[in-house]
Amino acid sequence: IAGITQAPTSQILAAGRRMTLRCTQDMRHNAMYWYRQDLGLGLRLIHYSNTAGTTGKGEVPDGYSVSRANTDDFPLTLASAVPSQTSVYFCASSLAGGNGELFFGEGSRLTVL
Amino acid sequence: DAKTTQPNSMESNEEEPVHLPCNHSTISGTDYIHWYRQLPSQGPEYVIHGLTSNVNNRMASLAIAEDRKSSTLILHRATLRDAAVYYCILKTSYDKVIFGPGTSLSVIP
């Protein structure tokens, strides 16, 4: 089934450890995004990418890095996790431009102790 | 960055229409207005989007003001399954998509 896949679904991580959240889409979408959603709050944009090879900072980029080596994959890396990065992380993709509908993954729940 | 404002929460009786408002006074000419909803413990899902004209689909209708500074998502007959957080966003040609806190819709049986 075509769509967007995130992994892992859930992870508990010790503070200071490195973690990469994976996101893959098979819809050949140009644009991809990473959001975090803290309990009871809305979505905040971490990083985004308009096309393979380019990335941009969102609202809350500090402590996170991304890469976009190809169209399908958009991993999010926490170099040294801190407890404030405990959150649910959503990856999304869309065709580039304002007319493109956003498709979201199921989310990755990350707990940093 | 494009911004939208929505009421924090709204209530509706089951099987009645619901009008969810959104203000986007800083909208630019090429910004599309998108609506998404997020059911509990799920990722957001697409509802509807438009540029200038009103839009209808199987889920909802989108009414866009003539000056495009506001829009309204219309659920024609609310069901219990429509209880969710509804997000109104502006999607731009350069693809930086910012979500606000959205409107939490409660549906009363």
Judged by DSSP in three states, A67 sits in: coil
Q: Which pLDDT tens digit goes with each residue over A84-103?
A: 999 999 999 999 888 999 99
How far CA B24 is from CA of B5, B55, B89, in Å, comes to 7, 17, 9
The pLDDT of residue B29: 87
CA distance B47 to A103: 11
CA angle A51, B89, A98 (to 5 degrees): 40
CA distance B18 to A57: 36
The yes-or-no verdict on residue A81 having pLDDT over 70 is yes
Does the CB of B45 have a partner CB in chain A at under 8 Å? yes
Which percentage of chain A shows pLDDT scores above 70?
Answer: 98
pLDDT, chain B, mean: 93
Average pLDDT over residues B73-100: 91
Shortest CA gap A108–chain B (Å):
10
Give me the sign of the Cα torsion angle B34, A34, A4, B100.
negative
The pLDDT of residue B96: 83
The pLDDT of residue B14: 96
Beta bridge partners of B34: B49, B89
Within 8 A by CB and 6+ apart from B67, the residues are: none
Among B96, B103, B104, which would you mutate to test the A interface (most chain A Cβ atoms within 10 Å of its Cβ)? B96
Would you call B43 and A106 a contact, using CB atoms and an 8 Å cutoff?
A: yes
A15: its two tokens:
């503070």
CB pairs A-B closer than 8 Å: 69
From A17, A25, A35, A10, select the one nearest A74 (Cα to Cα). A25
Q: Which pLDDT tens digit goes with each residue over A22-74?
A: 999 999 999 999 999 998 889 999 999 999 999 999 999 999 999 999 999 99
Would you call A42 and B95 a contact, using CB atoms and an 8 Å cutoff?
A: no
* Residue B2: band (very low, low, confident or very high) from pLDDT cuts 50, 70, 90: low
The pLDDT of residue B1: 59
